[in-house]
Amino acid sequence: MTMSPAATTTKRMALMLLKNREEVTREAVIEAVDAMIGVQPEVDRPGIDRERLIREVEAACDVWVDAPTALEGDEDHVEWLADKSASITWSFWSRYRTWLEEEKDFAPAVVRRLDDVTDQILKRLEDPTREGRWDRRGMVVGHVQSGKTANYTGLICKAADAGYKLIVVLAGVHNSLRSQTQLRLDEGFLGFDTQRRRDFDQTNTRMGAGAMLDAGFHHVHSLTTSAEKGDFNRTVAQGVGVTIGGKDPVILVVKKHKSILENLTDWATANLAVVAHGETVARVPNVPILVIDDECDHASVNTKNTFDAAGAFDAEVDPTAINAAIRKLLNSFDQSAYVGYTATPFANIFIFKDGETEKHGEDLFPRSFIIGLKKSSEYVGADRVFGLTEDPARGIAYSEPLPILRDITDSEDWIPSGHKKTWIVPTEIPESLRRALLTYILSCAARRARGDINEHNSMLVHVTRFTDVQSQVREILSEELQYFKDQIEFAGGAKPPALIDELKQLWTDDMAPTTDAFGDESLPPVPWDQVLAQLHPAVSKIEIKVINGTAQDALEYYERRKNGLSVIAIGGDKLSRGLTLEGLSVSYYLRASKMYDTLLQMGRWFGFRPGYGDLCRLYTTPELQRWYKDITLANEELFQQFEEMALSGGTPDQFGLRVANSPDGLLITARAKLRTGTKLKLSFSACD
């Protein structure tokens, strides 16, 4: 059953009691839980499951995150944060940190590391009160679905506290990602619902960190909202009457669209930009701007050939539109800082660092710093899903993959790998997809049996990029799901339908043995009779949706967070760099790409799966599994090289990454983004 309010409160209090301990023993957990149960009203204690509480608190305290590593640029930078930290009122950050601890149940070690990492990034930006012209360019490299949004939300909170006046978040190219990013910043940074009112006042609908008891009022303005049409609009911004550079910070969450970025720059510089002595470009003085570029390897990189026949940089060649618009925005302010976030930095490290023009300013190479974030111990990434092949030459040890991979070998007749948008999908689905659907139903029921009744549950069906074909898949799966619902609803008779026997067999042969294989005390075995009892309420909640990139896709999870959303999401390109599928447990994946970065970004199944990792499954082809193993090995080597370079004091300029070639002919990234890359053939034959 779902934890009672008293149990939830007890858990949070126990975690607060333990949060400052570097090492937490089981005995300390039991002592903290028992102490916090003791302070609860006697009438509430029967509703508290002590053993479950101990298990969940212990799991939260058994999380660790290593310190990040960094490459520092060799340029003019004034150290400032250590000297000024004590004099800054960290109001936005303190509220956000408390919200993560008390409302979002972040593990204490994760919050401590987030505090440290955001300090590491902030100190590499410039002091926003520093006079004169300065410009910082950095990149933060994390892992797919590993919490990068939480990281830059924390950075934004601290930057606003420190004095950055204008914050622009570049949030992908689709409405769904922009809306989802705005929603998360509404919760974590703004504290109010931007759909109700863009500029903050005390009567606005508060949410997230702003809705906590005694959260206080934090004055900040947002000129964008989480609505479908909530992107930047110059007319609306002028009507609000907010002036940038005033007492309160201003934030905008915008798509990477040429017209939006150009209008934003024109609005932000109107009546404020001046031409300083000796300059030819008008810039805004004394309004420090921070630009956060989410998925900075996507759309932001200049893909035009800017080199002449002799291989020299040609400043007369205009860059691609979005790249030019971002650079012009930064170049329009005397004081600017740019931080790109990505899990796939392959394109960014090949940006030509000297690609500067008078019209657009310099390119987006992260010359100031590159920071590599470490995975937390609870993160399920490519190395855990697909394992690692031992490679002594690269210093990579063998790693066993999680027992959640399942082969798809029967899909070619249903959705051929080279199908066109006119493909007519056969109505009879492959057995592998039918099994995946049944697995998802079992996963939802088992989570309910473990007490996760009001949590989100998602299944990903990623088989085509064509919207017309996706619509056909939706209709076919809707009929299949309805059949399952009907069979399960009337399973209580004297003779249960054959589907129940099939589900029981799948549970016995696959699901239960996988839980045993995990050997994790936080994932207790669930008897079949408990799963059976939850089948009907679980399957009744399941809906099927085609993810088409609208803001509503993102809003669904937020608006229905109290009761949990169970959804089978059918999508293509919009899901490769877009909406996070909350509570994703089962993925059915056929889409292929020949590029490392695209394949990694399509891996929506990476991330955090607290309390249900053993119930997750990835159905895909043996070929794609082999490709992902190649990518995982190359990615692991990339991070190892980054570590070695950081230890030796290397700079971003010197970071000559040697991304491993794939034996299957995979590309590092799009060819247009590799213009400054150099092929190297490495040999150890001359080594002793």
* 3 state SS of 110: helix
pLDDT per position as a tens digit, 557-614? 667 777 889 999 998 766 656 567 889 999 999 976 666 556 766 667 787 888 899 9
Distances (CA, A) of 54 to 7, 35, 59, 195: 11, 12, 8, 40
Q: What is the pLDDT of residue 684?
A: 31
Q: What is the pLDDT of residue 679?
A: 47
**pLDDT, average across residues 379-408:** 86
pLDDT per position as a tens digit, 154-204? 999 999 999 999 999 999 888 888 988 999 999 999 999 998 765 555 556
129 with 81: CB under 8 angstroms? no
Q: Predicted confidence band at 120 (pLDDT cuts at 50, 70, 90)?
A: very high
Handedness of CA 677, 679, 684, 687 (dihedral sign): negative
Q: What is the pLDDT of residue 683?
A: 35
Q: What percent of the chain has pLDDT over 90?
A: 43
Q: What is the pLDDT of residue 395?
A: 75
Q: Predicted confidence band at 143 (pLDDT cuts at 50, 70, 90)?
A: confident
Least-confidence region, from 87-91, 109-113, 559-563, 668-672 = 668-672
Q: Which of 86-90, 145-149, 266-270, 364-368 has the highest mean pLDDT?
A: 86-90
**pLDDT, average across residues 235-255:** 90
Q: What is the pLDDT of residue 43?
A: 76
Q: What is the pLDDT of residue 58?
A: 73
Distance, CA of 428 to CA of 440 (rounded, Å): 19
For residue 683, the one-letter residue type is S
479 with 587: CB under 8 angstroms? no
Task: Assess whether pLDDT exceeds 90 at residue 409.
Answer: yes
pLDDT per position as a tens digit, 256-302? 999 999 999 999 998 888 888 678 888 999 999 999 999 888 888 87
pLDDT per position as a tens digit, 16-63? 788 777 677 778 888 888 888 888 888 777 778 888 788 777 777 766
Task: Assess whether pLDDT exceeds 60 at residue 673.
Answer: no
Distance, CA of 225 to CA of 204 (rounded, Å): 13
Comparing 660 with 122, which gets the higher pLDDT? 122
Q: What percent of the chain has pLDDT over 70?
A: 84
pLDDT per position as a tens digit, 470-501? 999 999 999 999 999 999 988 766 667 899 99
**pLDDT, average across residues 446-463:** 92
Distances (CA, A) of 665 to 298, 344, 463, 596: 22, 18, 22, 10
Q: What is the pLDDT of residue 404?
A: 95
Q: Predicted confidence band at 687 (pLDDT cuts at 50, 70, 90)?
A: very low
**pLDDT, average across residues 85-113:** 92
Q: Which of 126-140, 362-376, 377-391, 559-573 has the highest mean pLDDT?
A: 126-140
Number of Cβ atoms within 10 Å of the Cβ of 345: 26
**pLDDT, average across residues 453-465:** 91
Q: Which of 275-289, 304-318, 544-558 has the highest mean pLDDT?
A: 275-289
Comparing 401 with 635, which gets the higher pLDDT? 401
pLDDT per position as a tens digit, 490-542? 876 666 789 999 999 999 999 999 999 998 877 889 999 999 999 999 999 99
Q: Please state, rounded to an integer, the average pLDDT across all residues of the chain.
A: 84
Distance, CA of 317 to CA of 675 (rounded, Å): 14
Between helix 148-162 and helix 108-122 the angle, nearest 10°, is: 50
Comparing 669 with 549, which gets the higher pLDDT? 549
Q: Predicted confidence band at 117 (pLDDT cuts at 50, 70, 90)?
A: very high
Which domains does the chain possess? 5-61 (no CATH), 69-372 (3.40.50.300), 404-628 (3.40.50)
